[in-house]
Amino acid sequence: MRRISLYCLKTTTMPALPLARLHRTADTFLLPKFETVRPATTLIVVIRYAITSRALFPGTEVEQQAALLRQAALWAANGIDIIQLREKDLPTTQLAILSRNILHALQGTHTQLLINTRFDVAMATSAHGVHLSSSPGELIPIQLRHLYSKARLRQPLITVSCHSIAEVERIRIQHPDAILFAPVFEKSIAGRTILPGVGLDRLREACAAAAPIPVYALGGVTLENTQACLEAGASGIAGIRLFHNPDV
């Protein structure tokens, strides 16, 4: 899977430098702005993977869903590669309606929509794919692809969340399109540590264990530490608050 989004330039004779970075405005994350160019560089393509949370928006349920829809449209307009619809508490009918509305907003862009775990909703609404859990007993990529084949649907884009090297090794042989490895960095809300991060060394191990499956870094990722994730071997960055725009 190859999607153009955030770019960095990596020199061949010195450590990688963040020569391009995302710029945030009151509206959305914009495509990167190149600042400098050095000789003997290699272009690195970085996948951006945004995860939804309508709870971050104020207002009623209707207002939150409307804000989320505007957010998705802005993400697509500005080149976000993948959106994971992660609204687990929504009833099936409401989730399906929201999925269809987002897919309509994505028309004409390269952005792809995945539904978190609800493969039935993904299949019914023609979403681009499904995000799966790596927990024991959960649906695995091979099973999901079989369901799509039986339904004579195009094969889905499949990502899977992993939280340990053992999970990465187990999921790798199922051939997902990508693995989300988390939490890389400490997760904190309002100054309180909610979940400690496993660190960059563990991310590096995960990337090596997953190869050639791409790994996206998740959990506490910021614009400032994105370069370190790339140097550890990550092919992309994922997050909820990383891409959230409160003023949509």
Per the listing, tokens 């060394």 go with 201
φ/ψ of 67, rounded to 5, equals -65, -40
Longest dimension (CA), the chain: 55
Residues 16-70 pLDDT 10s:
333 233 433 333 333 343 233 334 455 667 999 999 999 999 999 999 999 999 9
CA gap 154, 165 in Å, rounded: 31
Task: Show Cβ contacts of residue 2 under 8 Å, excluding neighbours closer than 6 positions.
Answer: 45
* pLDDT tens-place string over residues 120-138: 999 999 999 999 999 988 9
132 CB-near residues (< 8 Å, 6+ apart): 117, 138, 139, 140, 141, 144, 158, 159, 160, 161, 176
Lowest mean pLDDT among 13-27, 78-92, 95-109, 149-163: 13-27
What pTM was estimated for this model as a whole? 0.84
Q: Which of 142, 179, 140 is nearest to 159 (CA)?
A: 179
β partners of residue 160: 132, 179
Domains of the chain: 46-239 (3.20.20.70)
